[in-house]
Amino acid sequence: MKKINKYNLDKENKVTDENFFNNRRKIMASALAFPFLINSNAHSSSQKKLSFNKDLDYSTNEKTNTIKQITSYNNFYELGTGKRDPMLNASRLKSDDWNLTIDGLVENPLTLDSEDLIKKFQLEERIYRLRCVEAWSMVVPWIGFELRSLINLAKPFHNAKYVSFESILDSENLPGQKRDILNWPYREGLRMDEAINPLTMIAVGLYGKVLPNQNGSPVRLIVPWKYGFKSIKSIVKISFVEEIPVCTWNEQAPNEYGFYSNVNPYVDHPRWSQKRERRIGEFGKRDTLLFNGYSKFVSNLYTGMDLEKEF
């Protein structure tokens, strides 16, 4: 039985500490030296620009993937199962007149439209690693706000133990939903303490502009220490619930995808290793880090848990 303390957390923490320390200056420096990175023209010119602060506490200083890589190599099964399908079918996602409903065990249920999502919260840019369970990774400059700001607004009751998320259901337009490849709509969930962790983010943009459709327009979740599939796209509903919520990939193959799905090089997927990963745009592979390198911020959430059983 492997417990969390056997993973040599101190060593992991030291490595991430150094990374995060080095970040602070480099982020500022690269923003000054390469302003075109922020005004990339790979987003269509019609896409709305966002104003935001740059986060210095949680962002990585690693080289960001290009806007082209981030928008042409995607997982978004509603738009098809191929990596280029989400880009090719992007216009099939109807993201105008969007409403995000927050309900369940809350004092203050509310509905936010696209304008509210951009205006109601102070937006910031967070450069995070995204590690897909398929063993590739990217570094993305997301723009959004902490999920806990939204949670504070909704005021969940004490018996709300989990947060459940639901994506758009539109089988008329979304090509992937014409087939029963998954049990639609796509659903995900977090434990309340994971949801209020400051790393957990609601993203409304990337590279300075609103989200491209293929990346989950107009609003998605980002949980950087978990495998990419937890970061649910194009959310229409967030519910506060008492019982552990249904999660699409867990429901699909419970022996392969657990509820937690924390990035963990010591627990392999039953059909492939999770020890290494390919950063999109690079040759060769890198070592995968426990909690995707975010141990410092999240390892305390799992103290005493057997991460091999609760994967």
Ligand X SMILES: Nc1nc2c(c(=O)[nH]1)N[C@H]1C(S)=C(S)[C@@H](COP(=O)(O)O)O[C@H]1N2
Binding of ligand X at residue 65 (CB under 6 A)? Answer: no
Of the candidates 82, 100, 120, the residue with the CA atom closest to the CA atom of residue 235? 100
Among 76, 128, 145, 291, binds ligand X (CB under 6 A): 76
Place of tokens 């309900």: 103
Nearest approach in angstroms of CB 75 to Mo ion is 5
Residue closer to ligand X by CB (options 189, 228) is: 228
Residue of 132, 139, 154, 290 interacting with ligand X (CB under 6 A): 132
Nearer to ligand X, 141 or 216 (CB): 216
Is residue 197 a contact residue for ligand X (CB under 6 A)? no
Strand partners, 249: none
Which segment (150-158, 228-236, 283-291, 296-304) binds ligand X by CB under 6 A? 228-236
Instruction: Give, for 229, the enclosing helix (H) or strand (E).
Output: none
Query: How far apart are alpha carbons 244 and 91 in whole angstroms?
Result: 34
Selected from 224, 228, 245, 258, the binder of ligand X by CB under 6 A is 228
Residue from 211, 202, 216, 219 nearest 43 by CA: 211
Please tell me whether residue 167 binds ligand X under the rule CB under 6 A: yes
Structure tokens at 163: 């947060």
**CB closer to ligand X, 7 vs 194:** 194
Are 176 and 256 in contact by the 8 Å Cβ rule? The answer is no
Q: Is 58 in the site for ligand X (CB under 6 A)?
A: no
**Hey, what amino acid is at 105?**
L
Residue 143 and residue 124 in contact, taking contact as beta carbons nearer than 8 Å: yes
Residues making contact with ligand X (CB under 6 A): 74-78, 130, 132, 167, 186, 215-216, 228-229, 231-234
